[in-house]
């Protein structure tokens, strides 16, 4: 599906060995690589123990299957079959021990009880999480004059309140450890108008950005950091489902979004995942309460003709 050029795959360094990460919204219902699944792959490659949480059991089954197939192969990856690589990524998983590093659990961020159970499951199987990766988001389309109040609230409940609840459950584990990193995935759509009529999505992501910053500031003295990643024009399965209807065809959407980027092409889920891995690691120990766009310069680009 991804039409962008293939970037070099980084070599894992083991910088997350000894770290337990709860990765919410990081399954893959279609076996395709989205921002969340790409982050889970990155965490595992760097040695972390990862609890993938998703509300869709199929998304967890597909994630587990894809990871198991890649991790089961030995030696050099087969160039023809892609064995020893996660399908669609070129990522090598030969050194990952899924039996000790991975667990999954079904939970809905809108259900406080299931969310609490997910954190308990993670702590029981892998140890208390010291990194929370919140990659949950829905797009509710419709302008203010079209959208009903229930639709607006739904976007807030999942994109913003779900993050609040997840952070609330993560904090005790981080406090017990004396350190922690909270990573939320927001959007440049929460920073500026992107040309799509989805004020509910924009408002919820803008709120998520500020929630993240405030949490980081409040708990910094306890060794807990919180930062938000704002993806820009990233080619993911979500854009095919949620915004392709704004265009005459999928091909038109892809061409328009490539052209809209200052770099001339959309980014990849792995671009977002690389930053997530960095923020989960000790390499980002003094980065806190900030928003980092992964957008090829889009948020600073006025769209004036290039010379």
Largest CA distance in the chain: 58
- Looking at 198, 201, 219, 247, which residue is catalytic? 201
Give the CA distances from residue 184 to residues 11, 130, 255, in Å, rounded to whole numbers and listed in that order.
Answer: 25, 14, 28
Q: Which of 104, 83, 100, 99 is nearest to 40 (CA)?
A: 104
Burial 119-130 (b: 16+ CB within 10 A, else e): bebbbeebebbb
Active site residue 134: no
- Which residues carry out catalysis? 201
């Amino acid at each position: 599906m991804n039409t962008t050029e293939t970037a070099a795959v980084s070599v894992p360094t083991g910088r997350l060995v000894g770290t337990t990460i709860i990765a919410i919204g990081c399954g893959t219902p279609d076996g395709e690589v989205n921002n969340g699944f790409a982050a889970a792959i990155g965490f595992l490659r760097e040695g972390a123990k990862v609890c993938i949480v998703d509300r869709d059991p199929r998304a967890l089954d597909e994630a587990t299957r894809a990871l198991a197939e890649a991790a089961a192969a030995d030696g050099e990856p087969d160039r023809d079959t892609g064995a020893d690589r996660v399908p669609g990524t070129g990522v090598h998983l030969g050194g990952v021990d899924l039996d000790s590093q991975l667990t999954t659990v079904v939970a809905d961020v809108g259900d406080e009880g299931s969310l609490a159970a997910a954190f308990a499951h993670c702590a029981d199987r892998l140890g208390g999480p010291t990194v929370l990766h919140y990659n949950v988001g829905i797009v509710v389309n419709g302008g203010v004059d079209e959208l009903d109040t229930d639709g607006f609230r739904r976007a807030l409940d999942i994109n913003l309140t779900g993050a609040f609840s997840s952070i609330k459950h993560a904090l005790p584990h981080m406090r017990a450890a004396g350190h922690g990193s909270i990573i939320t995935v927001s959007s440049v759509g929460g920073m500026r108008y992107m040309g799509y009529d989805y004020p509910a999505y924009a408002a919820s992501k803008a709120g998520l950005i500020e929630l993240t910053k405030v949490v980081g500031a409040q708990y910094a003295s306890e060794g807990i950091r919180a930062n938000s990643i704002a993806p820009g024009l990233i080619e993911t399965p979500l854009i095919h489902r949620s915004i392709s209807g704004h265009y005459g065809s999928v091909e038109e959407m892809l061409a328009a979004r490539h052209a809209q980027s200052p770099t001339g092409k959309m980014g990849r889920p792995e671009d977002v995942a690389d930053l997530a891995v960095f923020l989960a690691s000790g390499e980002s120990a003094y980065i806190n309460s900030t928003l980092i766009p992964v957008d090829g310069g889009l948020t600073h680009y006025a769209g004036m003709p290039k010379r």
